[in-house]
Structure 1
């Protein structure tokens, strides 16, 4: 399968919250992901390990979609593929590291791009790394509500029957509209601004919604 198995196709209708249904957007996302070999390999590896509440999230999904939409190579702009799971019975680094090792062993050619994290223990190290507290999470999908951009809050996995399951708590209209929108659930302004700058350089088509100091009504 070539790097451009799915030809570029702008999605103005899908990017309009009122012009298409979320069902339409999910169907298009599934169509895109199913045609990208390395994304499917990651999803299949996650399923084969039977990790609790495990998903591929964020950049590995939204950047893949943008690259397909704009006709760029699949790995354009790809810093990492975030694989998350939720194992609350053992919060040790050693247990998490063992999972990381197993995932890397299944995908050796992608190991340098994989970032595997147990969401049950993020609050144990987050403040030391980022300088602000982080509440304990209830499940993997709870983490999506804390991302700096709503647009980035998207997750996918394969169920036991091999069907693609998608979760996007803020919907997918901004993803298909190539519109970066802040998420005010966490005080992540600096992170958002930094990500927006990097994203705009890589995908000039991207519309950046500024982080408002004083928020008005949410419209997107």
Structure 2
């Protein structure tokens, strides 16, 4: 995931994320995997990235107001980057998930559990700094990310939402592929 650090904004956010003093904070999502896909596609690392996501885990305050206050603080702290930040408390996901997705979600126990629930497995990535080292959380590995495979997340069943998300990614990076179910008796993976 060193490629994600070719994006100047990712690099600054990762280096200074600790300044926000958020528990279990991770730089996650599109700013990471889209940077990799941009590089693989010959584009500039920051091309088309609309926002930069940060997950944290604070079970002590599940209010929407607290999350909004942290978002404002983060936007101020990184104002020089001129990017949109989305800072989300993964401890409160279960409070809004049923209204958004139409089904319950058990309370998460860490920010990493939020990363684990992205609709497309290859996009389930997070980075943070610990003791001067970059730590990568990629529960489904990085192979699909680098090979452009948009496999549905095996732990989240949102078929139509996954399909919509994957098609959106393919519209921006046409070389990305969706696996299709192989015919019975065949072991080779088929893509479309």
Q: Give runs of aligned pairs for residues 190-209 of structure 1, distance below 5 A.
A: 190-209=160-179
What is the rounded CA distance, in whole Å, between the counterparts of 1:81 and 1:44 in structure 2?
14
1:118-176 superposed Cα distances (whole Å, 9 cap, x missing partner): 00001101111222211110101111222211101111012242x21111011100011
Match of 2:56 among 85, 89, 97: 85
Partners of 1:151 and 1:102 in 2: how far apart? 30
1:41 aligns with 2:8: no
Name stretches of at least 5 consecutive residues in structure 2 with no aligned partner. none
Give every structure 1 segment of 4 or more consecutive aligned residues whose post-TM-superposition deviation is greater than 6 Å: none
Which residue of structure 2 aligns with residue 152 of structure 1? 123
Label 1:118 to 1:211 Cα distance change in 2 as closer, same or farther (>3 A): farther
Cα deviation 1:73-110 (Å, max 9, x = unaligned): 22333232211000011111222122111110012255
- The answer to whether the Cα contact below 8 Å between 2:27 and 2:53 also exists between their aligned partners in 1 is yes
SS for the counterpart of 2:94 is helix
Q: Give the direction of change, closer, same or farther, for the CA distance of 1:200–1:211 in structure 2 (3 Å limit).
A: farther
User: What is the aligned partner in structure 2 of residue 12 from structure 1?
Assistant: none
TM-score by length of 1: 0.77
Return closer, same or farther for 1:190/1:55 CA change in 2, 3 Å cut-off: same
Total equivalences in the alignment: 185
SS of the equivalent of 1:179 reads: coil
2:136 is aligned to: 166
Q: Is the 8 A contact 1:151 1:175 kept in 2?
A: yes
Q: For 1:210 and 1:152, how far apart are their aligned partners in 2?
A: 18
Describe the SS at the equivalent of 2:135: strand
Give the unaligned 5+ runs of structure 1: 1-28
TM-score between both structures, scaled by the size of structure 2? 0.87
Report whether the alignment pairs 1:178 with 2:123: no
Could you list the per-position Cα deviations for residues 36-56 of structure 1 after superposition, in whole angstroms to 9, with x for gaps in the alignment?
A: 211111212312222110001
The Cα of 1:112 is off from its aligned counterpart by 5.3
Alignment partner of 1:70 out of 37, 41, 46 = 41
State the match for 2:26 in structure 1. 55
Question: Cα RMSD (Å) of the superposition?
Answer: 2.1
CA contact (8 A) 1:182 1:210 kept: no
1:47 and 1:159 in contact (8 A); partners too: no
Q: Secondary structure at the match of 2:100?
A: helix
2-structure distance, mates of 1:129, 1:64? 27
